[in-house]
Amino acid sequence: MIAAGEPAPDFTLRDHDGQQLTLSELRGRKVLLVFYPLDFSPTCTDQLSLYEEVRPEIEARAEILAISVDHSFAHRAFREKLGIEIRLLADFEPKGEVTRAYGAYIERVGHGNRSLVLVDEEGTVEWVHEAETPLEIPGANLIFDALEASPTEP
């Protein structure tokens, strides 16, 4: 897993609407990257539903982007089914390239682990949490603790 203090690997991925997003375009704002295994799995559904409940509080301090190996069409359907507004990014082709760059890809199962990465305003990894298994949902309290400990740029 990538470590705090390292430069966050830049990437360009398509979101649930097929629009491209490049991480470096968000410089000047903190970004919380949420790596998760797959759309429509029960645990991923619970995780993203939980984060949606607290999304306004997170977004007051950081942009939240959720990334999995699913295609943008699956992301759109998943987002609509859950009724969430979190922006979902497709690490689809080459499969898992961004997830691998952050050290969150699990080769034996072909998808990412549940990992959280907080990127600061300059594009440096500030904080990382990696779940022990893809079945463990990192609680929202971890995110709030990381944001609370994070220095705020003037």
Who's near 148: CB < 8 A, 6+ residues apart? Answer: none
Mean residue pLDDT of the chain comes to: 97
Label residue 42 exposed, middle or buried (CB < 10 Å: 0-12, 13-18, 19+): exposed
pLDDT tens, position by position, 112-124? 999 999 999 999 9
The answer to whether residues 108 and 8 touch, using CB atoms and an 8 Å cutoff, is no
* For residue 154, pLDDT beyond 60: no
Residues facing 129 on adjacent strands? 116
pLDDT tens, position by position, 34-67? 999 999 999 999 999 999 999 999 999 999 999 9
pLDDT tens, position by position, 11-31? 999 999 999 999 999 999 999
| Confidence at residue 151, expressed as pLDDT on a 0 to 100 scale | 84
pTM summary value: 0.97
- 87-90 and 63-68 strand pairing: parallel
Domains of the chain: 12-149 (3.40.30.10)
Q: What is the mean pLDDT of residues 121-129?
A: 98
Catalytic residues: 44
Gap between the Cα atoms of 8 and 33, Å rounded:
10
